[in-house]
Structure 1
Amino acid sequence: MSDQSINSHSALNDVDDRSLLEDADGDLFDVEQDFDPFAELDDDELDAMLAKAEGGFDATASGVPEGFRSGFVALVGRPNAGKSTLLNACFGQKVAITSPVAQTTRRRMRAVINREGCQIVIVDTPGLHKPKDSLGSELNKSALSEIGDVDVVAFLVDATKPIGRGDAWVAEHVAASRATKILVLTKADIANPQQVTSQLEEARKLVDFDEELVVSSTEGFNVEAFVSVVASYLPEGPKWFPDDMGVDASDETLVSEFVREKVLLHTREEIPHAVGVLCDGFEYKRDLLKLHATIYVEREGQKGILIGKRGEMIKRIGIEARRDLERIFDTRVYLELDVKVKQGWREDQGQIRRFGYSADE
């Protein structure tokens, strides 16, 4: 893998909130449990953490230069606002899946961005929307839980679509956050000047933003400016994670997500929303990575569409997913896919948790 390789045992999995001593509900964390969130921190990092909790930070003790900044920024907004695309652009590699389909992002993903003088942990969240099932409710809970638990909230608004009630609803939650608030107007490459001006004016009515930026993640326009602006609002602090840390997704999760992305890109109507994917086979054999993933749908008819005539659809999904996985894992990949029916899984909390889509994950 590259220097920004994916670490399936990422320390990011061990850190679910900024206080480290409380869970998402404000309850004290039970340090007697087998799972220890501090296990991978050395003495200097622990000292720096305690110093910060007490209101001070000693750069010398933490081993970082004076004035070093670090912290967390959450990307929030309506579905398809460009959150995952911006994360990929900042990270410099595609690690979050993208598609034109709503609910593409179902899992909160954190990516560590290292720049001179700062370390930023970018948190990509599911698009906020009016839920139609238990899955949708869990995705909203997951996104909203991040707004109050970061240093900076970046509210992403699509420059090409008029601001509506959905954006206003998201804005209410952003406005209530104590974090620094940045308006990020996305997709500048396909918006005309009139749209950009109008969107900026309407967005300013919703929230008192500390900063605003117009970006194009696909063209790289103002991506580094976004990183710089976020860094300027972060507190002085230690490097929370090693320089070679990538994202907090396990290898199996990345396999599942990139398979699901190809399903989203090649199917229509209800199928993309009814699909869940699990990677249930992961084995290295010399210079070959053997993978097996199962695609779950809710009805037999959906299964037939996914398999396709003479298996053409599932073959195309497998070929395209394999190409991405070979890039990510930097090795040859053999990918085998199955399709199974799991009726009503989107209303089943147990199944939602099994797929890793629960807000508590």
Structure 2
Amino acid sequence: MFNQGKEDTRAGFVAVVGRPNAGKSTLLNYIVGEKLAMVSKKAQATRKRMNIIVMHKNAQIIFVDTPGIHEKERLLNQFMLDEALKAMGDSDLIIFLAPVTDKLTEYEKFLALNEAKGTKHMIVLTKIDHVKQGDILKKLGEYQKYQDKFEAIIPFSVNKKVGKEQLLDEITRHLPESPWLFDPEILTTDNIRDIYKELIRESIFENMSDEIPYESDVIIDKIYEEDHIDKVYATIVVEKETQKGMIVGQKGAGIKRVGKLAREQMERFAGKKIFLDLHVSVKKGWSKNRESLEEFGYIV
């Protein structure tokens, strides 16, 4: 353990869940102060769990970023829902993100899913900068009928910088007394390969429309890490030849755009130059095929 000899420390896993696009990754990146979790305006951008470590006073909080809770459709979606459910069951506490404009039906679905697991939870009311103060108070009132179910409800705004300290204090109160579980200097248990993959995927989400982001994935073929530069060779995998053509674009304009944004984000994260070599390959029906999903690390 990393803090033996220190007294009264706490540590634990906190699953961050909610519907797709509830603001999970935005909230986590703001709390940790780094670009770690994938952020996209498109729903269901996050596919796998990711641990993000935040040190707060005497506590080590290991946030688990999860895919949005949604109905099962194809195999990949089933994997994503299973990832969220596993995180809920494995954690000491759940943070349920509820955009202030949402009806309570999403929260009621979450309560039904969590009933068997029985993990205690808190509600974070997100996107409060989009509405008037009276609307926030009204929504807080609506949640009061479930007040015996949750530990706390906290209004939160990344844009207005409201709620961060209160949220971290409240989480700390509910974590078990424990030595820290990870080196306090690290921000995530994910390796650099996984982070670079997610940053390339985010660039695809930002630069491509329609079904391409949902039917594509990224394989990091090779990384050469040097002091002043990382050389990254990666393949974007899509399901159809037409999708490959759209990503490559006229005279390579599409893949250049994807590569430029990805490289900028990777350099910001790594704090050094990135050489990024991107290719596109077609693997028909990969997101609906169990063996292909396992190859990409999605064990269904």
Which residue of 1 is the match for residue 215 of structure 2? 274
Q: CA deviation at 1:167?
A: 4.0
- Structure-to-structure mapping, 1:25-104, within 5 angstroms: 62-65=4-7, 67-104=8-45
Q: 1:274 to 1:82 in 2, by over 3 A?
A: same
Q: Paired residue for 1:196, among 115, 128, 136?
A: 136
1:137-180 deviation line (CA, Å, top 9, x unaligned): 0110111012122111111111133344x443222123444332
Please say if 1:308 is aligned against 2:249. yes
Q: CA deviation at 1:305?
A: 1.0
Equivalents in 1 of 2:138, 2:241: separation in Å? 46
Q: Paired residue for 1:182, among 115, 122, 132?
A: 122
Equivalents in 2 of 1:340, 1:204: separation in Å? 52
- Structure-to-structure mapping, 1:248-287, within 5 angstroms: 248-285=189-226, 287=228
Q: Paired residue for 2:77, among 101, 117, 136?
A: 136
Q: CA deviation at 1:195?
A: 3.9
Secondary structure at 1:253's aligned position in 2? helix
Is 1:303–1:339's contact at 8 Å kept on the other side of the alignment? yes
Q: 1:114 to 1:344 in 2, by over 3 A?
A: same
Equivalents in 2 of 1:71, 1:172: separation in Å? 24
Instruction: Report percent identity of matched pairs.
Output: 34
Q: 1:176 to 1:269 in 2, by over 3 A?
A: same
Is 1:89–1:218's contact at 8 Å kept on the other side of the alignment? no
Equivalents in 1 of 2:102, 2:249: separation in Å? 34
Which residue of 2 is the match for residue 226 of structure 1? 167
Q: 1:295 to 1:315 in 2, by over 3 A?
A: same
Equivalents in 2 of 1:176, 1:211: separation in Å? 20
Q: CA deviation at 1:218?
A: 3.8
Which residue of 1 is the match for residue 177 of structure 2? 236
Which residue of 2 is the match for residue 160 of structure 1? 101
Supply the RMSD in Å over aligned alpha carbons.
Answer: 1.9
Q: 1:150 to 1:213 in 2, by over 3 A?
A: same
Please, what TM-score do these two structures have when normalized by structure 1? 0.78
Which residue of 1 is the match for residue 286 of structure 2? 345
Secondary structure at 1:148's aligned position in 2? helix
Secondary structure at 2:77's aligned position in 1? helix
1:25-78 deviation line (CA, Å, top 9, x unaligned): xxxxxxxxxxxxxxxx5xxx7xxxxxxxxxxxxx9xx3222x222111111111
User: Which amino acid is 2:198 matched to?
Assistant: E
Q: CA deviation at 1:193?
A: 3.0
Is 1:107–1:356's contact at 8 Å kept on the other side of the alignment? no
Runs of 4 or more above 6 Å deviation:
none
User: Which amino acid is 2:201 matched to?
Assistant: R
Q: 1:206 to 1:297 in 2, by over 3 A?
A: farther
Equivalents in 1 of 2:18, 2:185: separation in Å? 29
Is 1:74–1:150's contact at 8 Å kept on the other side of the alignment? yes
Equivalents in 2 of 1:172, 1:299: separation in Å? 38
Q: CA deviation at 1:284?
A: 2.5
Equivalents in 2 of 1:203, 1:355: separation in Å? 40
Is 2:49–2:87's contact at 8 Å kept on the other side of the alignment? no
Equivalents in 2 of 1:102, 1:83: separation in Å? 11
Is 1:142–1:358's contact at 8 Å kept on the other side of the alignment? no
Q: Which moved more, 1:326-335 or 1:153-162?
A: 153-162
Please, what TM-score do these two structures have when normalized by structure 2? 0.93
Q: Which runs of 5+ in 2 are unaligned?
A: none
Please say if 1:214 is aligned against 2:155. yes
